[in-house]
Amino acid sequence: MCRKLLCRILILLIVLHYSMGVVYELLLEDEKVFTECTGKPKGYLNMSGFWDFTDLGLEMVEEGVIVSGNMTSTWKVDPTDRIEGAASLFYFDRGSWQQTVINMLVRDFCKSMYEENQFWQMYWTAHATNMEDVKDQCVNFGTTLTLETYLLDMKFPLDVPIRTGRYKIVVQMHAIDRAGVRRKNSICFQIRGELMKAT
């Protein structure tokens, strides 16, 4: 027996725990992982204007994508620029892409590029073996991240239940100069896949 208030708190915690416990998995559609944005704003660069993947291996296997090797920044930004990132999730419904409520804006990406529990940290920067050497360089032109061999399986818990089906994540990166003006070399790329409940 527990006292009334304590009981309520316990029950609430249990309910919260279960509602947050839904883990989804995005099964990537393309071995290249990143594809060209559809309807890319004029002047925007694609992934190859951001990172050179020549020395990076991406191999699709049943469980995800095996990543290994080096990636080098090709993005001509000034080291003093503020780097902003935005990601939006779209759902494919009856022949067209529909916006969802899941959006994310990171005002100062460089501050949290290696911060624990961020999506990009879990799926990407946590695997940089030369993190200590490059963590102050953010994504400056010429920076090379050496990635250990790892399995990229895009599993993530969501606190809002969403429909399974075909989705895309559209990512845009912007460099903002010291006067607060956005440079013209913004990046856009997308990741497409089938979203399902992870087992």
Ligand X SMILES: *[C@@H]1O[C@H](CO)[C@@H](O)[C@H](O)[C@H]1NC(C)=O
List residues near ligand X by CB under 6 A: 36, 46, 48, 55, 69-70, 146
CB of 109 to ligand X, least distance (A): 21
CB 167 within 8 A of CB 25: no
CB of 107 to ligand X, least distance (A): 27
Q: CB-side exposure of 121: number of CA atoms within 13 Å?
A: 12
Nearer to ligand X, 106 or 173 (CB): 173
Nearer to ligand X, 112 or 137 (CB): 137
Nearer to ligand X, 70 or 100 (CB): 70
Strands (E), 129-186: 144-152, 154-157, 165-176
Nearer to ligand X, 70 or 137 (CB): 70
Q: Is 178 exposed, middle or buried (0-12, 13-18, 19+ CB in 10 A)?
A: exposed
Instruction: Extract the tokens encoding 9.
Output: 């708190």
CB of 70 to ligand X, least distance (A): 4
Nearer to ligand X, 48 or 140 (CB): 48
DSSP bridge pairs for 69: 56, 147
Nearer to ligand X, 146 or 185 (CB): 146
What residues contact 35, with CB distance under 8 A and at least 6 apart?
189, 190, 191, 192
CB of 93 to ligand X, least distance (A): 25
CB of 130 to ligand X, least distance (A): 7
Q: Is 75 exposed, middle or buried (0-12, 13-18, 19+ CB in 10 A)?
A: buried
Rg (CA), the chain: 19
CB 70 within 8 A of CB 146: yes
CB of 132 to ligand X, least distance (A): 14
